[in-house]
Structure 1
Amino acid sequence: MPRTPPSLWRAALPVLATLALTGCSSDASHADASSSSVPGSLNSPKDTEPKGTEKHEKSGKPRSAVSPTHVSIPSIGVNSSLMRLGLNEDGTVQVPPAEQGMTAGWYTGGAAPGERGAAVLIGHNDTRFGRAVFHDLKKIGKGADIAIRNDRGAEIHFRVTGTETVSKKAFPTKRVYGATNERALRLITCDGAFDAQGHPVDNLIVYAARS
């Protein structure tokens, strides 16, 4: 993200419908920001969704009547509440504040976990405060269990079907955010080598389906 904080990405879609989480940094001296965008980005995840959802995304108000409140991934030690993430006024995706790096977020412009469609969770790898909630996401294995609890007390389980490391310049937006009849879950964080400014050049995407 502009003002590139450690392990904080700015998620936005470039013209060719790609969305990368950028701005992660290995340098703890960088200032923190709450959102980011890829230079030259014109689109946002709302471009993959039905018309009329923009006001809900920008306010963080979920499109669904059910909201996820907690995520647990026993195999890698993740146990986090979930905050709501919408869109900023400039169309960039909100991300958890650096000082709440151990808390993951749910993108409210997509489906709620367990509903038909793509539900997307975003979490930091590291921030200037240290390791964050998705620090060990790269260790997750195929078949791993992901449990999501919602505000109605139900717990929904997903199984990891695969992982993908992609360049932030070629983020598969439609594959991650696009419409699907499946009850799908995606988890996103930063990954890869660092560029000259100390920011990871890749994103790690975990794909999961309802058990």
Structure 2
Amino acid sequence: MRKVGDAAIAGVTVVSLCAGIWLLGGGSASHAPPQPSAAQSGTAPIAPGTAPAAPGAAAPALPPSPPDRIRVPAIRVDAPLMGLGLTPSGSLDVPPAARKNLAGWYEAGTTPGETGTAIVAGHVDNAQGPAVFYRLGALKRGGRIEVDRRDGSVAEFTVDAVEVYDADAFPDEKVYGAAARPELRVITCGGGYSRDTGYQGNVVVFAHLTGSR
């Protein structure tokens, strides 16, 4: 079982994000979403003269407050957030596919900015084309993610790593496990693509809180 805070999420957590319905509907594989390179992995060495993997010290945790919006300037994401629960099978529910510029957060878990691991998920595409996290795999280490919170504050996160995993090798504890500082995971589909099964894995962004305003 995958753990998020005190709640358990089954091993099919984000499978319903991954059908690849745009490609199935006639989109070309040449237009598949970007995938992170090995250089963006949390274990990759930092090349001389480049930014560190996680610039900036971890910021103090914020009090709990539901998030309303996520922004990732480097990949042109500016999207509202809706609360997500669990399906009867125990998997994480997903935003309505028809609303391509909508992401969701696991509202029974940690809120972004408080101590622990907060989870945000969104579609990579829908029947009309690219969706909110289509370019997530292009995000770089050191990138910025901002989350507007309902209490009026903005939680500012710095990207530590961008990784892609096959569905059958998804590192549950690494992605969903408890954290001693405020951390964020942003998840969409990725990896290999098959017309029979859709996307065969997930892109996961790992980030930690480095500021607020």
Give the TM-score of the pair, scaled to structure 1: 0.72
In angstroms, what is the RMSD of aligned CA positions? 1.8
Instruction: Give the secondary-structure state (helix, strand or coil) at the position aligned to 1:98.
Output: coil
Question: In the alignment, what sits opposite 1:24?
Answer: 19
Separation in 2, partners of 1:153, 1:202: 35
Among all aligned residue pairs of Structure 1 and Structure 2, give the percentage whose two residues are the same amino acid. 33
1:13 matched to 2:10? The reply is yes
C-alpha deviation, 1:170, in angstroms = 1.6
Q: Report what 1:190 is aligned to.
A: 189
Summarize the Cα distance change of 1:20–1:122 in structure 2 as closer, same or farther, 3 Å threshold. closer
CA deviation profile, 1:138-171 (whole Å, cap 9, x unmatched): 1101111100010111001000000110001121
Equivalent runs, 1:33-44 vs 2, <5 Å: none
Would you say the 8 A contact 1:104–1:121 is kept in 2?
yes
8 Å CA contact 2:104–2:121 kept in 1: the answer is: yes
Quickly say closer, same or farther: Cα 1:99–1:127, change in 2 above 3 A.
same
Q: Which segments of 5 or more consecutive residues in structure 1 lack a partner in the other structure?
A: 1-11, 30-63
With over 3 angstroms needed to count, the CA separation of the structure-2 counterparts of 1:159 and 1:123, relative to structure 1, is same
How far apart in 1 are the matches of 2:13 and 2:171? 7
How far residue 196 of structure 1 moved from its aligned partner, in angstroms, is 4.5
Is the Cα–Cα contact under 8 Å of residues 64 and 113 in structure 2 kept in the other structure?
Answer: no
SS of 1:113's partner is coil
Larger relative contact order, structure 1 or 2 (CA cutoff 8 Å, min sep 6) = 2
Q: Secondary structure at the match of 2:202?
A: strand
After superposition, the C-alpha distances for 1:48-91 in whole angstroms (9 at most, x for unaligned) are xxxxxxxxxxxxxxxx9510001001111000010000112221
One-letter code of the match for 2:19? C
CA distance in 1, matches of 2:72, 2:193: 27
1:113 aligns with 2:112: yes
Number of residue pairs the alignment of both structures matches: 163
Q: Which amino acid aligns with 1:111?
A: T
The whole-number CA distance in structure 1 between the counterparts of 2:204 and 2:157 is 15
| Alpha-carbon distance in structure 2 between the residues aligned to 1:104 and 1:28 | 22
Mapping 1:94-133, distance limit 5 Å: 94-133=93-132
Q: Which runs of 5+ in 2 are unaligned?
A: 1-8, 27-62
1:126/1:78 CA distance change after superposition, 3 Å: same
How is 1:194-205 mapped onto 2 (pairs within 5 angstroms)?
194-205=193-204
TM-score in terms of structure 2 length: 0.72
Distance in 2, Cα, partners of 1:20 & 1:105: 12
Residues of 2 paired with 1:114 and 1:145: CA distance?
Answer: 14
Corresponding residue of 1:78: 77
Contact 2:14 2:188 in 1 (8 A): no
Is the Cα contact below 8 Å between 1:13 and 1:20 reproduced in 2?
Answer: no
Q: Hey, what does 1:209 align to over in structure 2?
A: 208
Q: Which has the greater radius of gyration?
A: 2
Contact 2:24 2:195 in 1 (8 A): no
Q: Which residue of 2 aligns with 1:148?
A: 147
Amino acid at match of 2:102: T
